[in-house]
Amino acid sequence: MRWRVGNGENIKIWSDQWIPGTQSLKVISPRGNSDPEMKVCDLIDEENACWKVDLLTQLFPPFEVDRVINIPISSRLPSDSLCWDLEKKGDFSVKSAYWAIWGARNSRVMEGEVRSAVEVVKYAQKTIGEVSDARDKKAEGWSVAAGGGELPVVWSKPAVGFLKVNVDNGFVGELACGLGAVVRDEVGIVVAVGVQQIKASWEVRIAEAKAIEWGLRVAAGLGVRDLVVESDCLQVIQALKNKTADLSELSLIIDDILLLCSSFDNVIWSYVKRGGNKVAHFWAHFHPWEVGQRVWQDVIPTSIVDVALADLSN
């Protein structure tokens, strides 16, 4: 079990388990002269719902700073909650525990190897992660939708009265992420583009969800009431359609997105393959790279207009 970071008020930095995907789930850096009762909330910039990177670099060495900033922060700053680190959904699964125990039993019986409890957990985490990732990749690669129709591969115009925002994420090296959003009207004209660049390297599903959240914020700034939100991440689009709720970090961001939807009259979730999302993919890799948010409305960069025109020719 570990803590899923919400507002950080219940989590002690130096003694609690809150670092996902690590063997101990704890901070392993020496505490030094820091207060042993210091809480994770002290590391969070509440106004901007992000990590205080300057403080992190004072407390931790680079490798641990990276681990912390890759934990997503919800814009709602909800209460912290306990979750099961072996499952992507954060829920305890008897099957996950079974895999771990059975694997340890086989090693002892067949090979005479005795594993510690920590090793059993680590083994189970790796096994479940591999199986889950394989399923995710299969889902992403489907050529036919559940209803029998083909999944869209090219961009299409939204219905009359709607705007469409295409979103994507792009990684810049190992420690930076770009979120791109491109809003177009019912005839395909670009009315706004936005890029948010962050010092983090989230799990892909988290980054894709964050891109959707960013796209909604860009569209909300236009006063849009009816919106199509389109992404090339099938898993996140399905989670939004199903309003999936669990104890994962992804679910935190899904809840943020669903709350933002209250700013609109109608929001339609749409999936398109990468070939139909080239504009957002291009903008997610915008250069020069600089931490922060930038939005263009009145004057749209020529480079993005050219890519958008190629969509209309399809």
pLDDT tens track for 196-232: 999 998 999 999 999 999 999 999 999 999 999 999 9
38 or 146, greater pLDDT = 38
pLDDT the model gives residue 116: 58
Q: What percentage of the chain reaches a pLDDT higher than 90? A: 68
136 or 236, greater pLDDT = 236
Exposed/middle/buried for residue 110 (C-beta within 10 Å: 0-12, 13-18, 19+): exposed
- Residue-wise pLDDT for 138-166, tens only, equals 444 444 444 446 788 999 999 999 999 99
Cα Rg for the chain, rounded, in angstroms?
Answer: 21
pLDDT the model gives residue 238: 95
pTM of the model: 0.81
Q: So where are the chain's domains?
A: 2-83, 94-139, 163-313
Among the four given CATH numbers 3.40.50.300, 3.40.50.2300, 3.40.50.150, 3.30.420.10, the one describing domain 163-313: 3.30.420.10
**295 within 8 A of 194, measured Cβ to Cβ:** yes
pLDDT the model gives residue 312: 87
pLDDT the model gives residue 73: 97
d(CA 107, CA 115): 8
